[in-house]
Amino acid sequence: MGQNRNAPAYQEYAAAILAQLPFRTMTLQDRGLFFTMRLECWVNIRLPQNHADLAKVLGLPVAEIAESLEAVMPFFESVDGYVISPELENYRAHLAERKSKQSQGGKIGSAITNRKRDHAACHATEEVPSATPSTSRLTRRGGRVSLVQSSTEKPSPQQSSETGGNQFVSDYEAAESCSANAYAQASGSRHVVVSKT
């Protein structure tokens, strides 16, 4: 089952951040504000542009925000009175697109699998049953047909003596060949099974 949850994390490429001159020229306080704002933008998408409101949201003094915001803003963008991180928004859109493609791929794969299964099951039911009693067809899960072969050999005299010439065995074999002939006649088959007795 799919989950309609936001991505819990974003990838941070340290070399890409460290290589940028605006980051290299920041003070430690500026860098702290930069990363705090990035984290907030990932969770809440946008931050208020007003210094007083931004200070409340971040839990920092207004003076520190005002002092460091100029150094931090090259990494952010102001849109309709809010501050957003274009880089993180692009990454968020990338994740959403990838999730959508995976979902579509899963649906297509499922449709192909179901079509193959239905096709195999359809052909399995179209199989003509055999008129010989030695073979029976069983449709298994997944539409596969299993051929189960019973022995057509007559018992040897030694086996007959071991069973003690049991009348039950003789009656069973006679009934088996009778029912096979009846089935062949009922199904309109031209093959008639000859009695074993």
pLDDT tens-digit series, residues 111-140:
788 888 877 777 766 555 555 555 555 555
Q: Which two tokens stand for residue 39?
A: 């984290």
Which DSSP state fits 195?
A: P
User: In sequence order, what DSSP letters do the residues of 136-168 get, joined into one string?
Assistant: EEEEPTTS-EEEEE---PPPPHHHHHHTTS-HH
pLDDT tens-digit series, residues 47-68:
999 999 999 999 999 999 999 9
Domains of the chain by start residue, with CATH: 14-84 (1.10.10), 135-186 (no CATH)
Per-residue model confidence (pLDDT) at position 1: 46
Q: What is the torsional sign of CA 158, 162, 163, 164?
A: positive
pTM, entire model:
0.51
pLDDT band at 175 (very low <50, low <70, confident <90, very high): low
Using DSSP bridges, classify how beta strands 77-79 and 135-139 pair: parallel, antiparallel or unpaired.
unpaired
Residue type, 143: G
For residues 149 and 135, the answer to whether their CB atoms sit within 8 Å is yes
